[in-house]
Every structure is written in structure tokens, then in C-alpha cells.
Amino acid sequence: MLEKYRAYVINKLKLSERSAVDKCLRTQVAPLAEINKTLTMHITIHTFASVSVDKIPLQLLQKLYRHSSITTTVGYQANFINKDTDDALNSVLNY
């Protein structure tokens, strides 16, 4: 019973922290950065992942993300590898 309660309290604290960070991003960071859309921790994590995919080695990303397995990092970053498709679109659109 005590372990269930402990897990419940830890989960509530994590949610509370995430909520506080989201509120700060929404009310303070977004206006300063002139971002007109809702800014959340989830969005910032995905933005970092998509920007870092070609710039930071996987082993370093694994440490940054605190993944215990490089396979997790590779799987996660695979969602953001778009260089070939971006280059193809840019060549067509002359962007």
C-alpha cells in the first residue's frame, strides 16, 4: 500500500512540475520569443529533437535524453530524420 501511495505522490509531483514549466513557457517564454502559438514542454522537446538530428552525435543525444539504450535514441531520432525529403522539396520549390 505504501509503495502505491509513493508512486501516486511522485506522479502528482511530476505532473505539477510539468504544468508549472508549461505555464512559464506559455506566459513568459513564448511572448519574449514572439511565438504566437501555444508553447509547451512537449513541443520544445520535439523541436529540439528535430533541430539536433544532424548536428549532435547519437551518443551525446542518448546522454542528453537520459536513454539507457542507444536503440531507444535511434528509434526516437528516426522520426526526425527528414534531410533527404527536405532537400528534395527545396530543390523543387527553389527554397
- Give residue-wise pLDDT tens across range 32-55: 999 998 999 888 888 888 888 888
66: region left, alpha or beta (phi > 0 left; psi from -120 to 50 alpha): left
* Integer Cα distance of 83 and 1 in angstroms: 50
Q: What is the pLDDT of residue 4?
A: 80
Instruction: For residue 75, give the H/E element and its range.
Output: helix 70-78
Residue 6 has pLDDT above 90, yes or no: no
Q: For residue 74, give the nearest of 59, 64, 87 by alpha carbon.
A: 59
- As a whole number, the mean pLDDT across the chain is 85
Residue 80 has pLDDT above 80, yes or no: no
Q: How many residues does the chain have?
A: 95
Query: Any idea which residue has 544532424 for its cell?
Result: 54
Cα angle for residues 5, 13, 2 (degrees, 5° grid): 10
